[in-house]
Structure formats: C-alpha cells, structure tokens
Amino acid sequence: MEHATERIIALTGATRGLGRALAERLLEAGHRLVACGRSEEALAELEQLGGERVFARPVDVRSGVQVAAWAGEACARGLTPDLVIANAGKINDPAPLWEVSAEEFDEVLAVNVSGIANVVRAFAPPMIARGRGVLAGLSSGWGRFASPEVAPYCASKFAVEGMISALAQELPDGMAAVAVGPGVIDTGMLRQVRGEAAGDCESPEAWSRRAAPFFLDLGAADNGASVSVPA
C-alpha cells in the first residue's frame, strides 16, 4: 500500500487486534503515527518498527487526563494529526442485559463512548485551529442494528453513531467527523462473543490492507457520514 503524501495519524487501541494491524499498514505506507494503548511492551514494539515515525504512550482512553497529556505532548512536538482514528474498544461478556453487572456496563460505555469523547476533546481544538483534519470514531454493525446478549456494546455503538453525527454539525468547513464500521473480523473481542467460530472470519492483517487506504481516503466530503470498510 502506498500513499503520496506523508500523513500524521493518531490511533487509539494501537497495541492489539484491528488497531495493531492498522498501525503496521500505516507505517508500511510511510505515515507518521501518534499511537496509544494499554500495553507498554506492544507500544515499544511499534516504536521499534517505525522508529522516529512513531510517537507512542501508554494511555487508558477512559481517562481524560491521560488522553489530554498524550495529545498535548504530541501536538507540542509538531504532531497535530491529519487523521484521528478512535479505535479503542471493549465488549461485554455475552449475557442478557439484566445479568450484566452495572460495573461491566459502565466500563463498556466508558471505553467506547467516553473514550472517543476524550480523544475528540484533546485533538479537535488544535485540528480546528489548523483548519483541517478528519476525526473517525469506530462504530459497528451493532451500532446500526441490535443483537441479543450484547446490549451494552450495542448501546455504546449506537451512542457513537449519534455522537459523531452531532460532532459533524459542530466542526468548521474543511473538517470531518465520520463513524466507521470495520466489519466482522476475527479479533479477541469477536472471540469473546462467538468463541472459536470467529476463526471463520477475516484476519485483522487481511482486513487492514483494505482498511488503511479506506481511512486515508476520508475527507471533508465525508463529514457526518456513517460508513463501513468495504468487504
């Protein structure tokens, strides 16, 4: 995969699953990466892979303080992103809603909804000051239709769709907020729900070869769109 111009991409959840695969493709294409995740070891591997093109910090996206510190340091280094991919996510263990604990429900929403809001809060102002950029929030098919036993996840992803749609109306011309459904991929999250049957789905590595150019092609014309990575 090649892209003509070097871009600065901020990516959350970059240490595993879709985020890790996407990070590798973006680096292969010659872009710069502002990455975060929970695993310091995996972040160190990314830094080794991309060298000076990777700025990585351990961050829990549920913490607005941690996200703001990561974003602030990146922007102070001249790494205001052209594209933000708010990818970090969490799913609940499958169960009827009444059997899901309040703690698990709150944690899913904290990562999937508040996590994206924290990222927007940190990166949108410097991007607006510069006058361009795309903020992509990871949605899901389960943010557009519901399924049993994943009610907390559905609630979080329906919220992402609404939040991104509202954000799109708030951004100035020349910028975009886009809700992106990745598709059904063999990740740890899918295995948490489907078990070994998830192995029949596409691998993150194969998915990322389509997804990376798809994300890079998002622009101002996509503001407010709810889209999916092509199958």
Residue 72 belongs to some domain of the structure: yes
Q: What are phi and psi of 100, to 5 degrees?
A: -80, 125
Q: What is the mean pLDDT of the chain?
A: 95
Residue 1 belongs to some domain of the structure: no
- CA 91 to CA 176: how far, in whole Å? 27
Q: Give the pLDDT of residue 190.
A: 66
User: Which helix (H) or strand (E) segment is 165 a member of?
Assistant: helix 151-170
Quickly tell me which residue has 């990146």 as its tokens. 74
Residues 182 and 230: beta-carbon distance below 8 Å: no
Predicted confidence band at 200 (pLDDT cuts at 50, 70, 90)?
Answer: confident
Residue 2 belongs to some domain of the structure: no
Helix (H, G, I), strand (E, B) or coil at 176: strand
Quickly tell me which residue has 């790494």 as its tokens. 79
Residue 191 tokens, joined: 């295995």
- CA 211 to CA 228: how far, in whole Å? 9
CA 11-14-20 angle, 5° bins = 120
CATH number of domain containing 110: 3.40.50.720
Catalytic residue among 70, 123, 142, 153: 153
Closest CA to 79 of 103, 108, 50: 50
Instruction: Give the structural domain span for 142.
Output: 8-228
What is the number of domains present in the chain?
Answer: 1
Residue 56 belongs to some domain of the structure: yes
Residue 189 belongs to some domain of the structure: yes
Residue 136 belongs to some domain of the structure: yes
Residue 114 belongs to some domain of the structure: yes
Residue 170 belongs to some domain of the structure: yes
Q: What is the pLDDT of residues 36-76, one digit of tens each?
A: 999 999 999 999 999 999 999 999 999 999 999 999 999 99
Q: Give the pLDDT of residue 173.
A: 97
Asked about 153 being catalytic, the answer comes back as yes
Does residue 111 carry a pLDDT above 70?
A: yes
Predicted confidence band at 229 (pLDDT cuts at 50, 70, 90)?
Answer: very high
The DSSP code sequence of 139-162 is: --GGGTS--TT-HHHHHHHHHHHH
158-164: long-range pairs with CB below 8 Å, 24+: 159/109, 159/112, 159/113, 160/112, 160/113, 160/116, 161/226, 163/113, 163/116, 163/117, 163/137, 164/116, 164/135, 164/137, 164/139, 164/224, 164/226
Q: What is the pLDDT of residues 154-188, one digit of tens each?
A: 999 999 999 999 999 999 999 999 999 998 887 77
Q: What is the pLDDT of residues 127-152, one digit of tens each?
A: 999 999 999 999 999 999 999 999 99
